[in-house]
Amino acid sequence: MAKEPEYIIVNIDTPRKYNWSTGKYLGHVYAEAKENKKLVGNKCPKCKAIMWGPTIVCPKCKVETGWEWEELPETGTVTQYTYLVFPLWDPHYGERWANPHPSGTILLENGVYQRHFLEETDPEKLKVGMRVQAVWKEDYDERGLGMQDVPYYRTIEE
Amino acid sequence: MANKVAIVGIGQTYHKSNRPDVNMPEMVGEAVRAALEDADMNIKDIEATFHANMETFEGIYMPDHIMAAEMGGFGKPGLKVATGGTSGGSAVCEGFYMVASGLQDVVMVVGYEKQDCGDTTAAITAALVPSWSKGAATGAIGEFAKQALSYMETSGAKEEHAAMVRLKADKGACRNPYAHLKLGLTSIDQVLESGYLVWPLRFLDFCPQSCGACVLILASEEKAKKITKKPVWLADVEVVHQEPFRAGTFGDPTGTETYTQHVACENIYKRNGITNVRRDIDLAEIYEPSNWEEMNLYEHFHFCEKGEGWKLIEKGVTEMDGEFPVNPSGGVIATNPIGATPIIRVAEAALQIRGDAGEHQATRDVKTALASALGGPNWTTLALLKREM
């Protein structure tokens, strides 16, 4: 019987680091979150839509958006959610893990969609239509990661 | 007016999770040789090569430079595209543009992914603005999970309908010698017993990570008639890109987002006089990364009315022996070597038109077929194929 071929696999485990420039518009979001605990989006002068994340050009109107900013509301309604059951590889943590916090799509009061995590980890308590509010990192020194300065949204009773 | 473009050669590898027996160029070479054999051509007859691969998925940058020999690309013009899931569809468009413009007569379109080299989900997550994606780590799967939830809530479809899509796909895959996942499923319950991956998506609701390659040879009318007795005409192509979605990338519960599928298919249907899709087109090979997205795409491409995609699968309309077969090859949920996947859609549609699909040949005669691709923040490419033109 022919011998089974031996295949050689070379494992390459070089970390690839990078520095990412926020740019002027997203930099403003980082600064407002760090200094004032506000998430801000900029406004299209034509259709008046709030760009979140901010953009230099409104993708639909194809006009420059300019420097008119509006604070995003703190509360909204969950329109979609999902949660990891099977751990996936996360390049930012360098390991396989399941984030216990569900990932949600949240419709804020001004019509802006916020794609972020939900604090609630009990699947039984998750539902489309639930009301949530942004939770901020209170320690100034811990802030500085833009949208991540709000780690998740908390369920609120109204 | 564009010159006529024909598909004259089709080749693909078999698809598997791991191919430790070959490196990337060797794997691509298998499909290149198969396509040349199908067209009965020599690599010297190919004037240019268009190449699709999402390089970060393997962790190797500029894979085209190690591929030049196996693709026969040395000393010839060529381009590589990396547009996420649509990469292969974009490469088909590039080949089409070249031949349709008359700048080249015979070109090769190559797509491949060797996902055992890297980690695709990690790479997709890293495609976002870093600070936005930190900790999300669900890649495409999380977005399709949200789509499934929205589809359930808005259309009335049940998990059983998603399971029917997998059963249909598996029936095709088991008959397709090149397909990756061949599960031999016999009941809906077997699908519903598979565990959740990213809720509400089950393991059997989503596509596998495949290694594989697919190659098409495209030729002008004059060349095509000399090369083959069975040219399949690439009648038209369309590409539509999109900004990152705000409301939900693949399933929008608000109805406010613009879907690239709508823009793309409305453009191509209008240009080609297609007013009743299931009457004017005989078969479709669509890019459905999940069971749920297949039902959603039926609606986006106007195979049925909004909210009725699940009824097509329930009635068996899209089965291999149905009135309007969709993905008799087993589709993307059975086989997904990303860069190759959209090219496989076009290749399978062409095999159906040629009558060369073998065991998974559709029952009805296929004269016109639609092939789609999906990727990025919901981008779309389409190809319309015809037997006569």
pLDDT tens digits, residue range B156-171? Answer: 999 999 999 999 999 9
DSSP B4: P
CA distance A66 to A63: 9
**Closest alpha carbon within chain A to B19:** A7
Closest CA to A83 of A99, A65, A60: A99
- Give CATH 3.40.47.10 domain extents, chain B: 5-120+210-232, 137-209+235-386
CA–CA gap between residue B288 and residue B266 (Å, rounded): 19
Contact residues, chain A, for B150 at CB < 8 Å: 79-80
| Distance of residue B134 Cα from the nearest chain A Cα, in angstroms | 6
* pLDDT (mean) for B17-22: 94
Name the residue facing A90 among B59, B125, B197 (closest C-beta). Answer: B125
To test the contact with chain A by mutation, choose from B198, B245, B249 the residue with the greatest count of A C-beta atoms within 10 A, namely B198
The chain B residue lying nearest A93, using CA atoms, is B135
pTM of the model: 0.94
Model confidence at B363: pLDDT above 90: yes
Assigned CATH topology for domain B5-120+210-232: Peroxisomal Thiolase; Chain A, domain 1 (3.40.47)
pLDDT for A81-110, tens place per residue? 999 888 776 655 566 667 788 989 999 998
Map residue B120 onto helix, strand or coil: helix
Q: pLDDT class for A13, splitting at 50, 70, 90?
A: confident
Task: Compute the average pLDDT of residues B180-189.
Answer: 97
Mean of pLDDT values over B259-285: 96
Taking domain A73-158, whether its CATH number is 1.20.120 is answered by: no
Of B342 and A92, the one with more pLDDT: B342
> Are A82 and B138 in contact, with CB atoms under 8 Å apart?
yes
* Interchain proximity B248–A90, CB inside 8 Å: no
pLDDT band at B135 (very low <50, low <70, confident <90, very high): very low
> Please, which pLDDT band fits residue B247 given cuts at 50, 70 and 90?
low
Residue A20 has pLDDT above 60, yes or no: yes
Model confidence band, residue B338 (pLDDT cutoffs 50, 70, 90): very high
Q: Distance between CA atoms of B129 and A20, rounded to whole angstroms? A: 9
pLDDT reported for residue B258:
75
In this predicted structure, the answer to whether residue B137 has a pLDDT above a threshold of 60 is: no
Residue B46 clears pLDDT 80, i.e. is over it: yes
What is the average pLDDT score of chain B? 92
Tokens of B19: 């191919």
pLDDT tens-digit map of A23-66: 999 999 999 999 999 999 999 999 999 998 898 999 889 999 99
Write b or e for each residue in A48-84: b if 16 or more Cβ atoms lie within 10 A of its Cβ, otherwise e: ebbbbbbbeebeeeeeebeeebbebebbbebbbbbbb
Residue A4 pLDDT exceeds 80:
no
- Give the percent of chain B with pLDDT over 90: 80
Q: What's the gap in Å between the CA of B156 and the closest CA on chain A?
A: 15
Mean pLDDT of B260-266: 94
Contact B258, A61 (CB under 8 A): no
Q: What is the mean pLDDT of residues B339-363?
A: 98
Higher pLDDT, B315 or A10: B315
Q: Which CATH architecture has domain B137-209+235-386?
A: 3-Layer(aba) Sandwich (3.40)
Q: Is A108 on the interface with B (CB under 8 A)?
A: no
Counted across chains A and B, CB pairs separated by less than 8 A come out at: 118
B121:A93 CB<8 A: no
Query: Which residue is closest to B147 within chain A, CA to CA?
Result: A80
Q: Kindly report, residue by residue over B199-239, the tens digit of the pLDDT.
A: 999 999 999 999 999 999 999 999 999 999 999 999 999 99
Q: What are the residue boundaries of the structural domains of chain A, listed by start?
A: 23-72, 73-158
Query: What confidence score (pLDDT) does residue B25 get?
Result: 95
Owner of token pair 């989006």: A41
- Reduced 3-state DSSP string for B78-97: EEEECCHHHHHHHHHHHHHH
Which residue in chain B has the smallest CA separation from A51? B246
Give me the mean pLDDT over the A126-133 stretch: 96
- Look at residues B153, B141, B139 and name the one whose alpha carbon lies nearest to residue B198: B141
From the DSSP assignment, how many helices (H) and strands (E) are in chain B?
14, 11
Contact B332, B169 (CB under 8 A): no
The CA-based dihedral angle spanning residues B201, B205, B208, B214, taken in that order and rounded to the nearest 10 degrees: -130
Strand partners, A143: none
> By the 8 A CB rule, do A153 and A117 touch?
yes
Would an 8 Å CB–CB cutoff place A146 in contact with chain B?
yes
d(CA B191, CA B202): 8
Q: Which of B211, B178, B170 is nearest to B340 (CA)?
A: B211
Q: Does A126 touch chain B (CB under 8 A)?
A: no
Q: Searching chain B, which residue's CA lies closest to the CA of residue A58?
A: B243
Other beta carbons within 10 angstroms of residue B222's beta carbon come to: 10
Interchain proximity A89–B153, CB inside 8 Å: no
CA–CA distance, A158 with A129 (Å, rounded to integer): 12
pLDDT attached to residue B244: 66
Q: Which residue has the higher pLDDT, A3 or B82?
A: B82
Q: Report the percentage of chain B scoring pLDDT > 70.
A: 94
CB contact under 8 A, A82 and B138: yes
Q: Is residue B330 within 8 Å of residue B360, measured between CB atoms?
A: yes
Give the ipTM of the model, two decimals please. 0.88
Per-chain mean pLDDT for chain A: 89
Q: What is Dmax (Cα atoms) for chain B? A: 56
How many residues are listed for chain B in this entry? Answer: 389
**What residues of chain A, 42 to 101, have a C-beta less than 8 Å from chain B?**
52-53, 55, 59-60, 79-86, 88-93, 97, 99
- The Cα A25–Cα A14 span in angstroms is 32
